[in-house]
Amino acid sequence: MLDFKQMVADRHEYAREWKKRTGGKVIGYFETYFPEEVAYAAGLLPVRLLAEHEPDIKSDKWLYGACYPVRDIVNQFLLGRMEYIDGLVNTEGCQWMFNGYEVITNNNPELFKHYLFLPDYTESKTSKDALRSELGVFKERLEAWTGKTITDAALDHAIEVYNKNRFLLRQICELRRADRPVILGSEYMNMMLADQVMDKEEMNGILEEFIRELEQREPYKDKIRIMLIGSETWNSELEELIEKYGGNVVIDELDNGTSYFWNTIFPQKDRLMAIALRYLGRPRQPIKESNWRRRPDHIAQMAEDYFIDGAIIAKQIYCHPHGTDNYAVWKILRERYIPYHYFERDNTVPEAETGMRIEAFFNMLRPGLTRLVGWHNKIDL
Ligand code: SF4
């Protein structure tokens, strides 16, 4: 079985090998709003840019004060670690990501670059036509770049492959609803990250094999069931620390976690419209949230469905989208009496400091210690 964590560590080598094997091009993206199906139909390998944590010797002068994920991605790019990337797309979203895109493309003029507008008001009446039109422009630009026509058959194939991938990820996610799941949050997160840097058709085969393996596994012992909310993460360090103190992340509402695959594409004759509707309808990232809020209800429903004991909200420092949206998340958790712990992090998770926070929070949740335990059962206030 593929070691997902190792796969994430070897992702640059994987992409280089893929290029050698197929003769194809690699296209990088930042946001999970990026419509990968269109790029996949053009024969490209869409790769999500993942942050590491290193001293930002290159990016500091360009992006001082930006969040660490963006600074680090830019740093890695400028250090030449992603020389295999042939093109870069920024999908309208977080401003820091856009700034990172600008710094990278200005410093690498040979890259194919494209700015893809995706309406912030995703439910507005005109949004679907606006995005449909943007996808048409993107398709034409890819065709001009690759010299290949993107046919309806190629789009159908891409939609089928990506829908299958979403189905398999959801199937594995459903196993986490068991009283005693057979998968830990850390393994799950590594699987998710591997999924976002690999060829989906290859990954689908690996996921099918993984599901067969999970069906044979013994469940893990009882652990405190945690939901992870907040800015995207780039490794499984936090999940591992939570496990060390007796917890398990059984569900998340992260951009590179469940929000990446939660909804599907319903095929229709107008393939680009079908893709547009899927991306507009996916679980909201804070930047795409409007007055008619959907994100808090989505979080509350997940909390119920996965029987969480508590939530951990981990925001990347300087992450404005999540910083401004947190009040709504706190509000819904309080209304539902769901215990939560909030903290700010960067790409690293300092073990001593973060461990102490997690341990203190878990002590509040352990049966018999406080009234917080079992919010979903009966609360005596
Ligand atoms: S962590 Fe926040 S600020 Fe940084 S790129 Fe992600 S959404 Fe944007």
User: From the CB of residue 380, how many other CB atoms can be counted at a distance below 10 Å?
Assistant: 4
Compute the distance from residue 93 Cα to the ligand 1 centre, in Å: 9
Specify the higher pLDDT residue, 52 or 42: 42
- For 320-357, write each residue's pLDDT tens digit: 999 999 999 999 999 988 999 999 988 778 888 999 99
User: Any idea which of 124-128, 160-164, 264-268, 350-354 has the lowest mean pLDDT?
Assistant: 350-354
Q: Whose CA is nearest to atom 2 of ligand 1?
A: 319
Mean pLDDT on 79-100 = 94
Compute the distance from residue 341 Cα to the ligand 1 centre, in Å: 20
pLDDT the model gives residue 376: 53
- For 157-213, write each residue's pLDDT tens digit: 999 999 999 999 999 999 999 999 999 999 999 999 999 999 999 999 999 999 999
Q: Whose CA is nearest to atom 8 of ligand 1?
A: 94
**Distance of alpha carbon 250 from alpha carbon 225, whole angstroms:** 6
Compute the distance from residue 182 Cα to the ligand 1 centre, in Å: 31
For residue 334, give every residue at least 6 positions away whose Cβ sits within 8 Å of its Cβ, in sequence order, or none. Answer: none
* Per-residue pLDDT band at 31 (split at 50, 70, 90): confident
Q: What percentage of the chain reaches a pLDDT higher than 70?
A: 96
Report residues whose beta carbon is within 6 angstroms of any ligand 1 atom. Answer: 67, 69-70, 94, 96-97, 231-232, 316, 319-322
**What are the angstrom distances between the C-alpha of 130 and each of 126, 138, 204, 244, 275?**
6, 12, 31, 47, 13
Number of H helices, E strands in the chain: 15, 8
Q: Which residues pair with 252 in a beta bridge?
A: 228
pLDDT the model gives residue 377: 52
User: Any idea which of 7-21, 251-265, 287-301 has the lowest mean pLDDT?
Assistant: 287-301
User: What residue type is assigned to position 68 of the chain?
Assistant: Y
| φ/ψ of residue 86, rounded to 5 | -100, -25
pLDDT the model gives residue 367: 60
Q: Please choose, from the candidates 24, 44, 20, 9, the residue with its C-alpha nearest in 3D space to the C-alpha of residue 234.
A: 9
